Amino acid sequence: MREAHAGWLEVLDPGALTTVQDLGRPGWAHLGVPRSGALDQPALRLANRLVGNPEGAACLETTLTGAVLRSGATTTLAVTGAGCGVRVDGRPASWGAAVPVPAGAEVRVGPALDGVRSYVALAGGIDIAPVLGSRSSDVLSGLGPGPVALGDRLPLGRPGRASYGIEAVPVPRGDRLRIVLGPRADWFTAAALAGLDGASYEVAADSNRIGLRLTGLPIERERVEVPEELPSEGMVLGAVQVPPSGQPVVFLHDHPTTGGYPVVGVLVDEDLPVCAQARPGDRLTLRVVG
């Protein structure tokens, strides 16, 4: 059999949750297929650019605790997203830069120092078989590979062009979520809508790739006397859904394609990375922009 892969990446410690992610599988929502893909897409694209990959190549997305990996071949790696220590065979290496990795070297992606999710790109990308056009792991529907586990050997693709000789500069992500009201803002009281702009919410610990759960002032419904819920309707990435408790949930990449709670507004795409990197206990401020 022909050796199709340029090398392997072995998982020595997957940390709390490490998944394979690319730009996801948009375009299949009518079949009930979530979009999935990296939660912090600018960070994924940057990591890929640093190692000379196409921007949408598959990377690893770590969660809070980092991961330990071993590369079977000489390669180049870059870590972006949440800031963290990076060590290659015990020696400190740069975050946000192309780092050479000798064959057999142990790569330690440390716990997140700020944010939640770091992105680990390797030259050539992770070359597992795509499902519906994407290699992303979807924790809601189970499409794509499951979370990476101890002892997994992930095949790497052939590196493309040479990596860039640039380094990423950490950019403050801010704590502001800009929201465009609708499509169901009319389900809520005028006072609740007026109070949204500038409202501060705390990130709840049960937030995940499906949704960012926020706790704070309940967003009160106008029509509390109406017993029936909204018939299920299509949900978009960034939708701020409000269950009867009034505590909002921001739909992230693994969100269900339909939902039955009213959506008071939708976040602007540019603020989704803020959600991806918000830690439990962080405070975020809503800003109504339309």
| DSSP-assigned letter for residue 101 | E
The pair of three-digit structure tokens given for residue 24, joined into one six-digit string:
């996801």
Q: Which of 74, 155, 256, 279 binds other proteins (CB under 8 A)?
A: 256
Q: Using the rule CB under 8 A, is 267 a contact of other proteins?
A: yes
Q: Which of 2, 3, 142, 165 binds other proteins (CB under 8 A)?
A: 142
Size of the site for other proteins (CB under 8 A): 34
Least distance from other proteins to the Cβ atom of residue 103, Å: 33
Q: Using the rule CB under 8 A, is 284 a contact of other proteins?
A: no
CB atoms within 10 A of CB 140: 16
Q: Using the rule CB under 8 A, is 146 a contact of other proteins?
A: no
Q: Using the rule CB under 8 A, is 32 a contact of other proteins?
A: yes
Instruction: Answer yes or no: are the C-beta atoms of 178 and 289 closer than 8 Å.
Output: yes
The values of phi and psi at residue 196, to 5°, are -65, -40
Instruction: Answer yes or no: are the C-beta atoms of 227 and 143 closer than 8 Å.
Output: no
| DSSP-assigned letter for residue 30 | G
Least distance from other proteins to the Cβ atom of residue 105, Å: 35
Instruction: Answer yes or no: are the C-beta atoms of 115 and 173 closer than 8 Å.
Output: yes
Q: Using the rule CB under 8 A, is 64 a contact of other proteins?
A: no
Q: Using the rule CB under 8 A, is 31 a contact of other proteins?
A: yes
Q: Which of 64, 131, 210, 217 binds other proteins (CB under 8 A)?
A: 131
In whole angstroms, what is the distance from residue 43 CA to residue 223 CA? 41
Q: Which is nearer to other proteins, 12 or 236 (CB)?
A: 236
Least distance from other proteins to the Cβ atom of residue 63, Å: 24
Among residues 250, 246, 233, 268, which one has the least CA distance to residue 188?
246
Q: Which is nearer to other proteins, 58 or 78 (CB)?
A: 58
Q: The dihedral of CA 10, 207, 275, 39: what is its sign?
A: positive
C-alpha of 147 from chain center = 13
Q: Which is nearer to other proteins, 94 or 141 (CB)?
A: 141
Q: Using the rule CB under 8 A, is 252 a contact of other proteins?
A: no
Find the binding residues for other proteins in span 156-195 (CB under 8 A): 180, 182-184
Instruction: Answer yes or no: are the C-beta atoms of 117 and 186 closer than 8 Å.
Output: no
Interacting stretch for other proteins, rule CB under 8 A, among 89-97, 111-119, 135-143, 146-154?
A: 135-143
Q: Which is nearer to other proteins, 115 or 238 (CB)?
A: 238
Q: Which of 12, 210, 236, 288 binds other proteins (CB under 8 A)?
A: 236
| DSSP-assigned letter for residue 164 | P
Least distance from other proteins to the Cβ atom of residue 236, Å: 5
Cross-strand partners of 213? 249
Q: Using the rule CB under 8 A, is 238 a contact of other proteins?
A: yes
- For tokens 């640093």, name the residue: 50
In whole angstroms, what is the distance from residue 152 CA to residue 13 CA? 10
Q: Using the rule CB under 8 A, is 139 a contact of other proteins?
A: no
Q: Which is nearer to other proteins, 25 or 173 (CB)?
A: 25
Order of strands, sheet of 86-88, starting from the edge strand that comes earlier in the sequence: 91-93, 86-88, 106-109, 67-71, 7-13, 153-156
Give contact residues for other proteins (rule: CB under 8 A). Answer: 26-33, 131-132, 141-143, 180, 182-184, 231-236, 238-239, 256-258, 263, 266-269, 290
